[in-house]
């Protein structure tokens, strides 16, 4: 009996050990097979093109990354998604101004890997921001906007910039009505008379002109009246994501930097605007694409100063309670 009991105990322990070992192996294999899905938000504007380039050329897959794109219509909502953790990063179309507002309240929570900047003396193919009016509008200058309705991308960045532009042209912001207007609704609302002018980003101005719906009142008003250059777009990544997934974060940023370079080197990259922004094939070669600079390229003093001047406007209009040093926001 003693021998049988020992045999039973040995067999039982062997079976238990095998089951435990099998469980651990399965768990290890499962954990290795499970990959983090990187959620990336983008605004439906031209500055998002490098993200489309990276996806369509399989650049993320080559680095073993799984990326899920999320189109978001409002600049504020993209920042909210980054802060809440609903997305991990953003295309170079994230609102650089709202990013700085977040920095003033939650230092170090977001990091910038690129800046998209427009300049006042840029060629038409580098235009970033525009004030557009209906094709047959009688408005000929910013001073004509008293008593008018101004549509703009939703959120504090563009409402504040609209106020700054008005003030710089001697118009009291209280004399106009500012209206949040998502990109897909801008041209139709302008055409119907719902607003008199729209402060927007490309490709809205180009599409409106080609459809004979609108004309440009002022090209690059941001760089003319806010800061020159005006670095209104940013490629952003969550600091939390960097901390929790350092290897994936580094790979993601590297892919985006390569995609930014490819965007400008390969003219065919513009074709992805058809798929992601719903543009016609005739328009893709006409749409301006402003310069996108990366933090890895050691942004020169003029870019840094321009971005700082832009960010200081939020303090000027009491959006932030203290000045933000933009150098603290760049990815190391």
The model's pLDDT over 88-147, given as tens digits with 9 standing for 90+, comes to 999 999 999 999 999 999 999 999 999 999 887 655 656 889 999 999 999 999 999 999
Give residue 125's pLDDT: 59
Give residue 11's pLDDT: 57
User: If you search the block for the tokens 């990109």, which residue do you land on?
Assistant: 183
Asked if domains 37-120+229-328 and 124-225 share a fold, the reply is yes
Assess contact for 256 and 93: CB atoms under 8 A.
Answer: no
Contacts 24+ apart (CB under 8 A), 240-246: 240/85, 240/109, 241/38, 241/88, 241/89, 242/111, 245/36, 245/88
The pTM for the full model equals: 0.84
Assess contact for 134 and 159: CB atoms under 8 A.
Answer: no
CATH number of 37-120+229-328: 3.40.190.10
Fold category of 124-225 in CATH: D-Maltodextrin-Binding Protein; domain 2 (3.40.190)
Domain boundaries, the chain: 37-120+229-328, 124-225
Give residue 267's pLDDT: 86
Q: Residues in the chain with pLDDT < 50?
A: 1-3, 24-25, 27-33
User: Residue 256 and residue 296: Cα distance in Å, rounded?
Assistant: 11
Contacts of 80 (CB under 8 A, 6+ apart): 86
Give residue 151's pLDDT: 98
Give residue 13's pLDDT: 52
User: Residue 241 and residue 234: Cα distance in Å, rounded?
Assistant: 17
């Amino acid at each position: 009996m003693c021998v049988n009991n020992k045999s039973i105990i040995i067999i039982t322990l062997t079976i238990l050990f095998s089951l435990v070992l099998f469980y651990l192996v399965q768990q290890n294999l499962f954990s290795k097979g499970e990959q983090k899905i990187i959620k990336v938000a983008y605004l439906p504007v031209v500055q998002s093109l490098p993200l489309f380039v990276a996806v369509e050329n399989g650049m993320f897959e080559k680095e073993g990354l799984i990326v899920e794109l999320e189109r978001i219509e409002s600049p504020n909502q993209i920042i909210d998604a980054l802060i809440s953790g609903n997305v991990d990063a953003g295309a170079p179309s994230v609102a650089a101004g709202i990013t700085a507002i977040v920095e003033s309240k939650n230092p170090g929570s977001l990091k910038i890997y690129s800046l998209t900047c427009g300049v006042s003396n840029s060629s038409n193919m580098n235009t970033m921001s525009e004030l557009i009016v209906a094709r047959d509008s009688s408005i000929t200058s910013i001073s004509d906007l008293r008593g008018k309705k101004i549509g703009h991308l939703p959120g504090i960045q563009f409402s504040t910039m609209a106020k700054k532009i008005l003030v710089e042209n001697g118009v009291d912001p209280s004399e106009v009505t500012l209206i949040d207007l998502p990109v897909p609704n801008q041209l139709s609302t302008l055409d119907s008379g719902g607003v008199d002018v729209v402060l927007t980003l490309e490709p809205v101005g180009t599409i409106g002109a080609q459809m004979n719906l609108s004309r440009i009142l002022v090209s690059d008003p941001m760089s003319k009246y806010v800061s020159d250059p005006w670095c209104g777009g940013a490629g952003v990544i969550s600091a939390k994501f960097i901390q929790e997934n350092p290897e994936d974060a580094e790979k993601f940023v590297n892919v985006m930097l390569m995609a930014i370079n490819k965007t400008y080197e390969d003219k065919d990259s513009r074709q992805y605007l058809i798929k992601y922004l719903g543009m016609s094939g005739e328009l893709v070669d006409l749409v301006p694409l402003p310069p996108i600079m990366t933090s890895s390229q050691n942004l020169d003093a003029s870019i840094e100063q321009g971005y700082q001047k832009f960010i200081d406007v939020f303090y000027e209009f009491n959006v932030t309670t203290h000045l933000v040093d933009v150098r603290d926001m760049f990815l190391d």
